[in-house]
Structure 1
Amino acid sequence: MASVVGTYQHEKSENLDAFFSAIGVPWIPRKMMTNSNPTVQVSQDGETYKIRTVSATKTVEITFKVDEAFESSLMSGEKTQNVVRKEGDSLIQEQDSSKGKIIITRAFSENAMDMTMEHKTSNVKATRHFKRTA
């Protein structure tokens, strides 16, 4: 089983602009996000996980326990309800907002993290690939 704890550097994305468009992100922020190369830091303290995504324009952080509901915010500031479950080497986040249900699957291996985002209402998916750096 691969450790989820680590630091990951963005390498490439697939279909990201279409995904952000499907969830209603305006053109300028969408272009900024699709051209970003974020670093993702995953840490764990006991049963509590923290995922911190750092880019040139914004830092987003979520803190959660597996299978426990928590609140986070979209880029627009809108509050969302979330729950994360663990399946094998993946953390699967279900997010509910006025934009619909979004499923974010973070699949970990010894050398990488692949993050697939699916907007259930429109069935649009995007994937971001990250290389483990630490």
Structure 2
Amino acid sequence: MADSSEKPDLTGHWVLERNDENFDKYLQAVGLNWFVRKIIAKANVSIDITTEGDKIEIRTHTPKGDLVDSFVPGDEYEMKNIMTGKMEKKTGYWDGDVLVVEPVDNENLPSTTRSLKEDCLLMTNTVKGVSTTRYFKKK
């Protein structure tokens, strides 16, 4: 675990600027059909990250609704995936200056890292060996 001086301030409202070239391959690995992938690729997405003490809340706003990850780094938690309607067990933790959120006991669910590079929030999702990075700007 990193000490607090290594942890970047990810709080704020972040708006999707672009996806990298692997985004469609990643969505295929998730198991989405062509039509759904095309809709998702064009969707407006934003993220609100807040902290209260040690607790971090990441609220991802999508056209289908909000995905909410709320956790204390190092602790296991559950969240409802609005895309599937199922509850998922996850754990979040700091790895140096990178915030990592991983599924617990389910390799078919994506893991996500969030980090800052210059003025961008980079969100990298990986599932079944396929990764994609999404670039967000603070608004």
What TM-score comes out, normalization by structure 2 length?
Answer: 0.82
Instruction: Map Cα deviations across residues 76-121 of structure 1 (whole Å, 9 max, x no partner).
Output: 12222100111232210111475625220011246221000111xx
Q: 1:83 to 1:132 in 2, by over 3 A?
A: same
2:86 corresponds to 1:78 = yes
Q: 2:26 aligns with which of 10, 16, 19?
A: 19
Q: 2:129 aligns with which of 101, 117, 123?
A: 123
Correspondence for 2:115: 107
Larger mean CA deviation between 23-32 and 10-19 belongs to 23-32
Q: 1:42 to 1:104 in 2, by over 3 A?
A: same
Cα contact 1:89–1:109 (8 A) shared by 2: no
Q: 1:8 aligns with which of 14, 17, 21?
A: 14
Q: Distance in 1 between matches of 2:49 and 2:93?
A: 15
Task: Give the CA deviation at 1:127.
Answer: 0.8
Q: 1:94 aligns with which of 102, 107, 115?
A: 102
Structure 1 portions without partners, runs of 5+: none
Give the share of equivalent positions with the same residue, in percent: 24
Q: 2:70 aligns with which of 35, 53, 63?
A: 63
Q: 2:43 aligns with which of 36, 44, 49?
A: 36
Task: Give the CA deviation at 1:58.
Answer: 2.1
What TM-score comes out, normalization by structure 1 length?
Answer: 0.85
Task: Give the CA deviation at 1:12.
Answer: 0.4
Cα contact 1:8–1:131 (8 A) shared by 2: yes
Task: Give the CA deviation at 1:61.
Answer: 1.4
The two structures, once aligned, show a CA RMSD in angstroms of: 2.0
Count of residues in correspondence between the two structures: 131
Q: Which has the higher strand share?
A: 1
Structure 2 portions without partners, runs of 5+: 1-5
